Amino acid sequence: PVIRREDYKPFPWRVPTTRLDFALGVEATRVTATLAVEPNPDAEPSSEIRLSGDGLEPASVTVDGHGSNSWRMEGSDLVIPLEQGAHELTIVTQIDPSANSQLMGLYASGGMLCTQCEAEGFRRIAFFPDRPDVLSTYTVRMEGPKRQFPVLLSNGNRTAAGEGGDGNHWAEWHDPWPKPSYLFALVAGDLVARTDTFTTMSGRTVELAIWVRGEDLPRTEHAMESLKKSMKWDEETFGREYDLDVFNIVAVGDFNMGAMENKGLNVFNTKYVLADPETATDGDYDGIEGVIAHEYFHNWSGNRVTCRDWFQLSLKEGFTVLRDQLFSQDMQGEAVNRIEDVRLLRSVQYPEDSGPLAHPIRPDSFREISNFYTATIYNKGAEVIRMMRTMAGPERFRQGTDLYFERHDGEAATCEDFVRAIEDGAGLDLTQFRRWYSQAGTPKVEVELEHDGETATLTLRQTVPPTPGQPDKQPMPIPLKYALFDRATGAHRGEELIVLDGTETQIAFGGFADKPVLSINRGFSAPVSIERDTPVEDLVFLAANDDDSFARYEAMQELIVGHLVAAVGEGFSGDDREAGRAAIGRAMTAILADAGLDDQMRGELMMLPSQTYVAEQLLVADPGRIHAEREALKGWLGQRLEDDLVAMHARASKASDGMDAAARGARKVKTQALVYLAAGNPDLAAQMAAAQYDAATTMTDRQGALMVLAGLPGIERTNKLIEFYNRYRGNALVIDKWFSLQASSLHPEAIAHVKALADHPDFTLKNPNRVRSLYMAFAGNPHAFHDPSGEGYRMIADLILALDPLNAQTAARFVPPLGRWRRIEPGRAALMRAQLERIAATPGLSRDTFEQVTRSLG
Ligand code: ARG
Ligand code: ZN
């Protein structure tokens, strides 16, 4: 059944309090849920209460202290007739956590028990109005064998604990803040904690704890530091203070997503907790800092103010991503962070927005909400709120968010509530801007700069492309930051902001004897595609001179994308190719030589646009041709710039130990140098990579070297892959890297390698991190996935079919790569479609996979 936003109705009952009693066991856990219910004065009264369940059977149902037999099951829901007035319902269920391979609800991971309830996992634990607008105050008691589960955790504060009979012990937890069921959590296991304290701005002391397996304890320091920084930053930047006496984080090895913001008890994928320089890359460190912050920030944007229904998911996710992005920018520096955020948006969200799965940041319908935890809801959602901030300025934006938190604290709110609070608090008129919430598709902005006499005229024209179910679009307000540079002086006349709110606008600027150079969408002020014909020399100029770091990066990207798109098109001559490469070579040489650049930024400027991003510029792409042109350009640059790259690698190698920004930058450019050299001079690169590998004092250097080696045939590849495996055998997160590096490699035999790795004793379909490390890496490896034989497509389809019965949520995440078929040349498109049809024809598909496959077939 399709669920529609317009069908929203408040639940007829309120549930002021919920008491949960767990008799814990890995194979059998008995749950006794006691719900105080009363009619909801804001809803139409009902003579029954419908409680969601998923795979549950009621062992007993008691209404107001009397055993009831007037209940019935409707599908998986429990329906109990109920007279108006207040009642107490007690329902007993029994579940088997060890059999829960979906990792939703209560499940076992490495001997411990833990929960994941967002979005609809609570109904796999107990019958309940499992919807985000039913808020209740929870008291949880759990009892179980002390040897097996020495640590017992739930939301809020621990109010009592004690010993039971038969080696059991128990604990009781109370969360004073009313919350929806998706924020419930329970953990029971043999865990140890890194503890610390944080004093809030009003002077309260909060006990912090990060719970992990004993051997992982030394790798929790960075997570704890990140948590304390996040708490401080949210007080300073958004005025948000933490509201419980304890804040617990638990790391689990089996987890469908990154992490979960359960009230006072965040549950994390180990990937976003554990780090030390020997086993985690600089990127892993940043990922941990960002996800710890993200989940912590949800305490206000998500928990204190939650969502009315799941169509409002971006209310909490878009806003919280923006908050974690602003935090990371403040911690790490704005320039590089912004570029990384945009790279992610354009490589994942843009393809989503231009394909069969396109949806607005506030969708109108879905079958399975798990399929809507997307880059659109999260990352485009963040960009939409960022635009409001850009238009209001940070101070007025803050007044808007203050008003939002004040108005809606304790409520289940809507995106509309958020927009209205920003309007009122920041003093903006967002009437037209609301279209960003309802219309899908990445707007295109055509930009033209004409020059005549002393006048430069800027013309901007927008179109929003049609998307499934939305053939016609209205223009949306698009805030664009721009500057006009004087060619002679290399300086501009001040950055301005223009909001393009109609289809087309024109502005004239006087006093330009020569045609200026236009820098537009500076700082990526709007999530749009800029289309313009900028002369190559202007791009080279901006890549060297723009004072906006993002714009500088963008000029470089535009230069290279323009070249590759032309190169794979018709009528591109050998001379055109030489001229294009020469311009890129000039710009790259300047970047390598620029003493004013720090290495982190240099590393960004050196990066070639991804193959997906290049393909995105074409109506129909030939992945083989793009790959060949892109690799050829890399090889050409590797050869032309060989001396500079080797020198840079040597220079950076002397400065790449330690965890400070300079050393991180040095590591980044070292591996970048190897990437180009591998394409230009493979023997030299293999030798340098092997040396970098042997000398590495950090995982960043070691992984960078191994990544390059994994793509180069030769003995060093085999040697180092074996060395790496033996060195880290038993460390799951590092072995994940070992799988990934091979699956994403440029090696011509990558397909065969992935097949062999699927049979490796360390491979299992039961662990989502391992599945993703092999198959997501593979699906994102263009030359392997798009092998003209169609073998890559078949392998992903086989995976989906094998995984779907075990873990539907994770299986469904592999559908989008196949769903791109409309934008791929006809030969491969037919092969991709055939695989989707094969999946669609398989009986017994999960709702998750069924929805994604049918949408993808269109
Ligand atoms: N709310 C979590 C986060 O973004 C994501 C949890 C999603 N879980 C799921 N099963 N879909 O931080
Ligand atoms: Zn989130």
ipTM over 0.90: yes
Q: Which atom of ligand 1 is nearest to the CA of 256?
A: 10
Q: Which residues contact 291 (CB under 8 A, 6 or more apart)?
A: 258, 259, 268, 272, 324
Nearest-angstrom CA–CA distance, 487 and 481? 19
Distance of alpha carbon 139 from the chain centroid: 32
Give the total residue count for the chain: 858
Asked about 143 being catalytic, the answer comes back as: no
Ligand 1 site, residue 373, Cβ cutoff 6 A? yes
Exposed, middle or buried, 764 (CB in 10 Å: 0-12/13-18/19+)?
exposed
Distance of alpha carbon 641 from the chain centroid: 35
Q: How far is CA 445 from CA 434, 680, 698, in A?
A: 19, 37, 43
Nearest-angstrom CA–CA distance, 46 and 354? 43
pLDDT in tens, 440-449: 999 999 999 9
Ligand 1 site, residue 422, Cβ cutoff 6 A? no
Nearest CA to ligand 1 atom 1: 260
Task: Take residue 317 and report the two structure tokens written for it.
Answer: 């996710």
Ligand 1 site, residue 317, Cβ cutoff 6 A? yes
Nearest-angstrom CA–CA distance, 473 and 461? 14
Structure-token match 């400065």, residue found: 655
Residue 257 C-alpha to ligand 1 middle, in angstroms?
6
Which of 143, 172, 261, 295 is catalytic? The answer is 295
Nearest-angstrom CA–CA distance, 625 and 810? 31
The pLDDT value recorded for residue 407 is 98
Residue 15 C-alpha to ligand 2 middle, in angstroms?
25
Q: 218: closest CA among 192, 196, 197?
A: 192
pLDDT in tens, 49-94: 999 999 999 999 999 999 999 999 999 999 999 999 999 999 999 9
CA torsion through residues 713, 716, 722, 728, sign: negative
> Mean per-residue pLDDT for 364-376?
98
Q: Which residues of 341-366 are buried (b: 16+ CB within 10 A; e: fewer)?
A: bbbebbbbbbbbbbbbbbbbbbbbeb
Nearest-angstrom CA–CA distance, 727 and 729? 6
Nearest CA to ligand 1 atom 5: 260
Q: Which residues are registered as beta bridge partners of 108? A: 113
Phi-psi category of 711—alpha, beta or left, where left has phi over 0 and alpha has psi -120 to 50?
alpha
Q: Which residues contact 344 (CB under 8 A, 6 or more apart)?
A: 375, 379
| CB neighbourhood size of 679 (10 A) | 23
> Mean per-residue pLDDT for 756-780?
98
DSSP 301: B
> Mean per-residue pLDDT for 8-32?
98
Nearest CA to ligand 1 atom 7: 118
CB 127 within 8 A of CB 134: no
Q: How far is CA 94 from CA 29, 98, 185, 390, in A?
A: 6, 12, 17, 52
CB 614 within 8 A of CB 626: yes
Q: Which atom of ligand 1 is nearest to the CA of 291?
A: 12
**What is the SS3 assignment for 196-264?**
EEEECCCCCEEEEEEEECHHHHHHCHHHHHHHHHHHHHHHHHHCCCCCCCEEEEEEECCCCCCEECCCC
Sheet holding 48-51, edge to edge: 48-51, 77-81, 72-74
Q: Which atom of ligand 1 is nearest to the CA of 370?
A: 11
Task: Take residue 715 and report the two structure tokens written for it.
Answer: 């003995």
Task: Take residue 760 and report the two structure tokens written for it.
Answer: 């490796």
Which stretches within 453-610 are classed as H helix? 536-545, 549-568, 574-593, 599-606
Ligand 1 site, residue 558, Cβ cutoff 6 A? no
> Mean per-residue pLDDT for 245-265?
98
CA dihedral (217, 221, 222, 225) in degrees, to 10, reads 140
Residue 131 C-alpha to ligand 1 middle, in angstroms?
15
CA torsion through residues 387, 390, 392, 395, sign: positive
pLDDT in tens, 505-542: 999 999 999 999 999 999 999 999 999 999 999 999 99
Q: Which atom of ligand 1 is nearest to the CA of 317?
A: 4
Ligand 1 site, residue 423, Cβ cutoff 6 A? no
The count of C-alpha atoms lying within 13 angstroms of the C-alpha of 390, restricted to the half-sphere facing its C-beta, is 25
Residue 669 C-alpha to ligand 2 middle, in angstroms?
32
CB 725 within 8 A of CB 735: yes
Q: Is residue 490 very low, low, confident or very high in pLDDT (cuts 50, 70, 90)?
A: very high
DSSP 305: B
Ligand 1 site, residue 716, Cβ cutoff 6 A? no
Residue 643 C-alpha to ligand 1 middle, in angstroms?
47
Pairing label, strands 412-413, 246-252: unpaired
Element (H, E) at 837: helix 826-840
Q: Which atom of ligand 1 is nearest to the CA of 302?
A: 1
pLDDT in tens, 702-761: 999 999 999 999 999 999 999 999 999 999 999 999 999 999 999 999 999 999 999 999
Residue 593 C-alpha to ligand 1 middle, in angstroms?
44
Element (H, E) at 51: strand 48-51
Ligand 1 site, residue 261, Cβ cutoff 6 A? yes
Ligand 1 site, residue 295, Cβ cutoff 6 A? yes
The count of C-alpha atoms lying within 13 angstroms of the C-alpha of 302, restricted to the half-sphere facing its C-beta, is 27
Residue 449 C-alpha to ligand 2 middle, in angstroms?
41
The pLDDT value recorded for residue 760 is 98
Q: For the chain, what is the radius of gyration of the CA atoms?
A: 28
The pLDDT value recorded for residue 528 is 98
Ligand 1 site, residue 293, Cβ cutoff 6 A? no
3-state class of 517 per DSSP?
strand
pLDDT in tens, 579-590: 999 999 999 999
Ligand 1 site, residue 257, Cβ cutoff 6 A? yes
CB 548 within 8 A of CB 483: yes
Q: 413: closest CA among 180, 614, 755, 207?
A: 180
| CB neighbourhood size of 528 (10 A) | 20
Helix then strand then coil, in percent of the chain rounded to 5, is 45, 20, 30
Q: 189: closest CA among 213, 224, 218?
A: 213
The CA-to-CA distance between both ends of the chain, in Å, stands at: 17
Nearest CA to ligand 1 atom 9: 118
Residue 265 C-alpha to ligand 1 middle, in angstroms?
14
Amino acid identity at 310 = W
> Mean per-residue pLDDT for 612-618?
96
Which of 257, 314, 378, 379 maximizes ligand 1 atoms within 8 Å of its Cβ, making it the mutation to test the pocket? 257
Nearest CA to ligand 1 atom 2: 260
CB 327 within 8 A of CB 297: yes
Phi-psi category of 231—alpha, beta or left, where left has phi over 0 and alpha has psi -120 to 50?
alpha
Q: Which atom of ligand 1 is nearest to the CA of 116?
A: 10
Nearest CA to ligand 1 atom 8: 118
Q: Which residues contact 191 (CB under 8 A, 6 or more apart)?
A: 112, 150, 151, 211, 212, 213, 250
Q: 674: closest CA among 701, 714, 695?
A: 701
Residue 82 C-alpha to ligand 2 middle, in angstroms?
36
Ligand 1 site, residue 256, Cβ cutoff 6 A? yes
